[in-house]
C-alpha cells in the first residue's frame, strides 16, 4: 500500500489510503473558492477535479495563472487519485466525518463551515 501525502500548502500529512486523504482534505481544510466561477469546493483533489472537469484547461491556465507544467502535474494527481479511489470507501470516510460528500452537480451541495 502506498502512502498518500496531502499536497495542500503547509500540510503534508501522510495517510495510508487515498480515501482517508480525501476525507482529510474535505473536513480539515477550508473550502476553496474557484477563481473561475466563484463556487466553493473542498480544497485539494476536489478543487482540482472541479477546475478540470467543470472548466477548460484554457480557463484554468488563464484564471490561475498556471503554466503547462502545472496543468500536467495536476492531471497526474487527478489520474492517480481517480484510479486509486474506491467511491464506496470514500463515502464511508465522509460519513464518518459527518459531512455530506461532494457531488458532481456543479457545486450546489456546498459544505457549510
Binding site for Zn ion (CB under 5 A): 6, 8, 11, 34, 36-37, 39
Q: What's CA 33's distance to the chain center, in Å?
A: 12
- Least separation in angstroms between residue 71's CB and Zn ion is 15
Coil, strand or helix at 38: coil
What is the number of helices (H) and of strands (E) in the chain?
Answer: 5, 4
Residue closer to Zn ion by CB (options 8, 101) is 8
User: Is the CB of residue 31 less than 8 Å from the CB of residue 111?
Assistant: yes
Rounded least distance, CB 90 to Zn ion, Å: 16
Q: Report the nearest approach of Zn ion to the CB of residue 9 (Å).
A: 9
Residue 37 or residue 80: which is nearer to Zn ion going by CB? 37
Contact (CB, 8 A) for 13 and 29 = no
**Nearest to Zn ion of 4, 101 (CB atom):** 4
Amino acid at each position: 500500500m502506498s502512502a498518500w501525502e496531502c499536497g495542500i500548502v503547509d500540510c503534508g500529512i501522510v495517510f495510508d489510503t487515498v480515501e482517508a486523504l480525501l476525507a482529510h482534505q474535505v473536513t480539515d481544510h477550508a473550502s476553496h473558492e474557484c477563481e473561475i466561477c466563484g463556487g466553493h469546493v473542498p480544497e485539494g483533489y476536489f478543487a482540482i477535479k472541479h477546475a478540470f472537469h467543470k472548466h477548460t484547461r484554457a480557463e484554468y491556465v488563464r484564471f490561475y495563472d498556471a503554466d503547462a507544467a502545472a496543468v500536467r502535474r495536476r492531471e497526474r494527481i487527478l489520474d492517480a487519485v481517480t484510479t486509486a479511489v474506491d467511491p464506496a470507501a470514500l463515502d464511508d470516510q465522509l460519513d464518518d466525518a459527518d459531512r455530506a460528500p461532494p457531488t458532481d452537480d456543479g457545486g450546489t451541495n456546498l459544505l457549510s463551515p
